[in-house]
A and B are shown apart, each in its own frame.
Chain A
Amino acid sequence: MVFLTGDLGFMALEPLQAAMAQRFINAGVAEQNMVSVAAAMAREGLEPWVYSIAPFCYARPFEQIRNDVAFHNLRVRLIGNGGGYGYGVQGPTHHAVEDYGVLLTLPNMRALVPVFDQDVPDVVTRAGETTGPVYLRLGRGEPPAGYAPPSYAPWRQLTAGGGAVVVGVGPLVGTYIEPFAALPEETRPNLWAACELPLGANPPPAALLDQIAKSRRLLVVEEHVARGGAGAELALMALQQGWPVEDFRHLCASGRIHPTYGSQAFLRLQSGLDPASMLEAAGPQTGKGRG
């Protein structure tokens, strides 16, 4: 195993650096070279893990990921920290709201997006078991206080009731648990977290499809732009497979370059991803129109 970082990890990766010794390589501020070096190492039978903050991990070296890693189906694990609006006030150059959509256009590519901090060891294990390239979009888990997340699985139901089906990606999902739990059971949404993309490789479970058949409402939420996201994939799946969805909505990152800076919570609010916007979209009082 070899760990490569693009000069990021100060105050975080020092223990890993000490443990891995010469197998820990700070490849410097040179992400294109880092990814091709990792591809060559994988070609030689090593197991490279490549780390940077999310935008520098996939956007700068995209052609290296495409030509050198994905075309050759090499076991390179790309770890992007702070996916979505995770680096809030650092500004749009540090945001990654199109990362997995862009990457999943490539052959052989998979993306893993944990919801809770407790998922990370399982997600890392899943990435390690993957035979081709994989992208880990990491973020800070945001469960309600005192919440015990269910064990990791590609699909997990986090709230249950007689309301709409809500499918979400990433830590954002954790912010809806408490508001949904406060709703009466008959109108409470069935909140699902999907962690492994593309969804076609891990189709939604039968229980989720049963809930769609009952509520006829499907809402997808993700801190990612509409194009290339899980919403587009689920909408296509629904049409191709004839799911009885009468009300489909997609809450997603606007992708707009905001004129002002702000925290991750502020930027989610600008895109209507905050819990109040979610309650309005998925709660019992709406369902009249299509979002």
Chain B
Amino acid sequence: MHFDAGVGHIGGNLSCLDALMVLHHEFIGADDRFILSKGHSAGALYATLWSLGRLSDEQLKTFTRDDSVLGVHPPVSGIQDIRFATGSLGHGLSLAAGTAKALQLTGKPGRAFCLTSDGEWQEGSTYEALVFAIHHRLANLTILIDHNRLQGFGSTGEVASMDPLAQRFSGFDVDIAVVDGHDPEAIREALSVTDRLRIVVLDTHKGHGVSFMQDRMEWHYLPIDDAQYRQAVAEIESR
């Protein structure tokens, strides 16, 4: 998709793809809601929805083309599984908390899941949302954090002393799990806890699975050229 479209954000898509696949294939049911707060990983979400048959081959081929609903960031409308257009960081957790609160107020079943980036926790609004979620005891909310340690212009440690991230939450009254974000069994186990508000810190690698991308900051933004694409496909297919 990204190769055909000539767009970037590949690294952050690959770091969260494993978690999105486990979450959507094994946990999200008809009553549940998902908010992709790190909107720049919309490509990984589209691929996940495609793997579930929620998006067609033809739809996926329109990614970032003129007049397509599949943009680099999630669209306002046009895809039933996408509830909000995200892309500006620091919105999604509030949207997920509001969704969970609405389900709580109306006595409806279902759980809200929200995937944030790690750099996104530099946005003050994310803490506003966490305080709200804890205060309202939103036991129907799971927060996943793609902790790949690389943001747009540096590492989360260099930019904001936010590595390891889980320590930032130690003063909050919230259940925290730290798991290998590329191990389906570990992700599965962490997401199986649904009786409380839970933060699942996914230890991940930007550009996971592609040697020349992995843990390299430039793959936050760079598009992929023809030779790189062929090498990346070969590496992934040989795994």
With A and B bound together, what is the CA distance between A32 and B95 in angstroms? Answer: 11
Q: Is B38 an interface residue, CB under 8 A from the partner?
A: no
B210 to chain A, nearest CB (A): 32
Q: Shortest distance in angstroms between A39's beta carbon and chain B's nearest beta carbon?
A: 6
Interface-centre pick from B84, B88, B90, B135 (highest chain A CB count, 10 A):
B84
Which chain B residues (115-159) contact chain A, with CB distance < 8 Å? Answer: 124-125, 128-129, 131-132, 135
Decide if A72 touches B94 in the complex (CB within 8 Å). Answer: no
| Interfacial residues of chain A within 1-56, with CB under 8 A of chain B in the complex | 2, 22-23, 25, 27-28, 30, 32-33, 35-41, 43-46
A26 to B105, CA, bound (A): 15
Q: Are B131 and A41 in contact (CB under 8 A)?
A: no
Contact assessment for A46 and B97 in the assembled complex, using a CB-CB cutoff below 8 Å: no
Q: Given A23-B105, A28-B132, A44-B106, does the pair A33, B84 have CB atoms closer than 8 Å?
A: no
Binding stretch for chain B, among A60-68, A151-159, A246-254: A60-68
- Can you list, as one digit per residue, whether each of B178-220 has a CB less than 8 Å from chain A (1) or not (0)? 0000000000000000000000000000000000000000000
Contact A46 B132 (CB under 8 A): no
Interface size class of B (residues with CB under 8 A): 20 to 34
Residue A71 CB within 8 A of the other chain: yes
Which residues on the B side are within 8 Å of A39 (C-beta)?
84, 95, 98
A40-B94, A43-B84 in contact; A72/B132 too (CB < 8 A)? no
CB within 8 Å for A67 and B88 given contacts A33-B129, A37-B132: yes
Residues of B within 8 A of A45 (CB): 102, 106
A30 and B129 alpha carbons, distance in the complex (Å): 8
A46 x B105 contact (CB < 8 A):
yes
- Interchain Cβ contacts within 8 Å, total number: 93
Interface hits, A204-226 → B, CB 8 Å: none
With A40-B96, A41-B98 in contact, do A67 and B91 touch (Cβ < 8 Å)? Answer: yes
CB of A75 to closest CB in B, whole Å: 13
A67's partner among B85, B96, B106, B129 (CB-CB below 8 A) is: B85
**B84 and A72 within 8 A (CB):** yes
Distance in angstroms between the alpha carbons of A43 and B102 in the assembled complex: 9
Nearest residue (CB) in B for A2 is: B105
Known: A30-B132, A63-B88. A37 touches B98 (CB 8 A): yes
- Least CB distance from A222 to B in Å reads 31
CA distance A36 to B84 in the complex (A): 10
Asked if B48 is at the interface of the complex by the 8 Å CB criterion, the answer is no
A33 vs B101: C-alpha distance when bound (angstroms): 12
User: CB-nearest residue of chain A relative to B125?
Assistant: A32
Measured between beta carbons, the chain B residues less than 8 angstroms from A64 are: 91, 94, 125
B99 at interface by CB-CB < 8 Å: yes
Set A27, A28, A32, A72: member contacting B85, Cβ < 8 A: A72
DSSP majority for the B interface? helix
A43-B99, A44-B106 are contacts. A36–B129 as well, Cβ < 8 Å? yes
Expressed in whole angstroms, the minimum distance between the Cβ of A158 and any Cβ of chain B is 41
- Within the assembled complex, what's the spacing in Å between the Cα atoms of A41 and B94? 11
State the Cβ distance, B81 to closest chain A Cβ, in Å: 13
Is B24 an interface residue when CB atoms closer than 8 A count as contact? no
Tell whether B55 is near chain A: CB-to-CB under 8 Å. no
Cβ A33 vs Cβ B96 within 8 A: no
Which partner residue on chain B sits nearest A29 by CB separation?
Answer: B128
Q: How many angstroms from the CA of A72 to the CA of B84 in the assembled complex?
A: 8
A67-B85, A67-B91, A68-B84 given; A33·B102 CB < 8 A: no
Query: A40 touching B76 by the CB < 8 A rule?
Result: no
What is the bound-complex CA distance between A35 and B105, given in angstroms? 17
Docked complex Cα distance between A198 and B48 (Å): 42
Q: How long is the Cα–Cα vector from A71 to B76 in the complex, in angstroms?
A: 7
Q: Is B83 an interface residue (CB 8 A)?
A: yes
Given known A44-B106, A46-B102, A72-B76, contact A36–B88 (CB-CB < 8 A):
no
Assess whether B125 is in contact with A33, with CB atoms less than 8 Å apart. Answer: yes
Q: Which of B4-45 contact A (CB under 8 A)?
A: none
Q: How far is the CB of A130 from chain B (nearest CB, A)?
A: 19
B94 / chain A contacts, CB cutoff of 8 Å: 32-33, 35-37, 40, 64, 68
Structural contact, A22 and B96, CB atoms closer than 8 A: no
In this assembly, does B176 line the interface, its C-beta being within 8 Å of a C-beta of chain A? no
13 A-B pairs with CB atoms under 8 Å apart are A28-B131, A32-B90, A33-B131, A33-B132, A36-B95, A40-B96, A43-B95, A44-B99, A46-B105, A64-B94, A67-B88, A67-B91, A68-B84
Query: Which chain A residues have a beta carbon within 8 Å of chain B's beta carbons?
Result: 2, 22-23, 25, 27-28, 30, 32-33, 35-41, 43-46, 63-64, 67-68, 71-72
7 shortest A-B CB distances, which residue pairs?
A40-B98, A36-B94, A37-B98, A33-B128, A44-B102, A30-B128, A32-B125
